[in-house]
Amino acid sequence: MLSIRRSAVGSLSVASKHVLGTTAVIGALAFTLIALLIPVQSFGGKSAAANTSAGGDDDGLGTLSTAFGPLTAQDRDFVRKVRLAGLWELPAGRDAVQRGKRPTVRTAGEHLIEGHTELDRRSIEVAQALGMELPNQPSAQQQEWLAQLAAAQGPQYEQLFAQLLRRAHGKVFAVVAQVRAQTRNSMVRQLANDANTTVLDHITVLEATGLVDFDGLADAPPAGSGKAPGSGSGVAPVPLPASSTLSRPTK
């Protein structure tokens, strides 16, 4: 009788061990699953927040499905910004070709005309493919920049042209890189590739004028801040640059 009881106790002990072992395995799997899910959810949330806030204006339409991949608010804002850039930089380039005294200023104007003529064509092409509407006139801020250039005369005009356009291109350069890195839409990605090449070319020829004050660029608002040179209640004058910080003209 005693041996039977011992056997029963031994069987219960073995069964308990199996139950405890099974429970431990299930618990470990549950913790592992939780550990895997939490980082994925956190990362996804951060990515969504980045796509919403980093690119600029949100039109409230969310992410749309297209034949070329998902189209986010940042993507649409970028296509509109490319179009807007041409609406004021094309006139600025034509003005520089006509009014510039320095050959380097006229060359910069020619590059603006050539580059933004092509980008303007591409932005319209992309917008049509994606079913987007585009602006047809410069923004109020861009019109202010054009007014500043129209009011400037002589050397002041050339200096203002180089500084204002170089600062604007520096700001958009960061936006182009961000869109190129984040977009999942093939049409927007190719437009970002084209814009990257064009903007870098324009930065190069503007610096080649020898009129860009790099210290003056340092106080430019960061990309995505909603502000840009010339914004605000009044016309922001471009300060006279120190000779040590000027870009050197290309010989």
Q: What is the pLDDT of residues 79-93, one digit of tens each?
A: 999 999 999 999 999
Please list, in sequence order, all residues whose beta carbon lies within 8 angstroms of the beta carbon of residue 153, skipping any fewer than 6 positions away. none
**pLDDT for the residue numbered 246:** 57
- Name the average pLDDT for the chain: 78
Cα separation, 178 vs 175, in Å, equals 5
> pLDDT tens across 81-124, in order?
999 999 999 999 999 999 999 999 999 999 999 999 999 999 99
Cα separation, 249 vs 244, in Å, equals 13
pLDDT at 203 exceeding the cut of 50: yes
**pLDDT for the residue numbered 176:** 97
pLDDT band per the 50, 70, 90 thresholds, residue 247: low
Please list, in sequence order, all residues whose beta carbon lies within 8 angstroms of the beta carbon of residue 110, skipping any fewer than 6 positions away. 93, 97
pLDDT at 4 exceeding the cut of 50: no
Mean pLDDT to the nearest integer, 219-238: 42
The tokens describing 228, both together, are: 């840009």
Task: List residues bridging with 64 in a β-sheet.
Answer: 71
How far is C-alpha 224 from the geometric centre of its chain's CA atoms?
A: 7
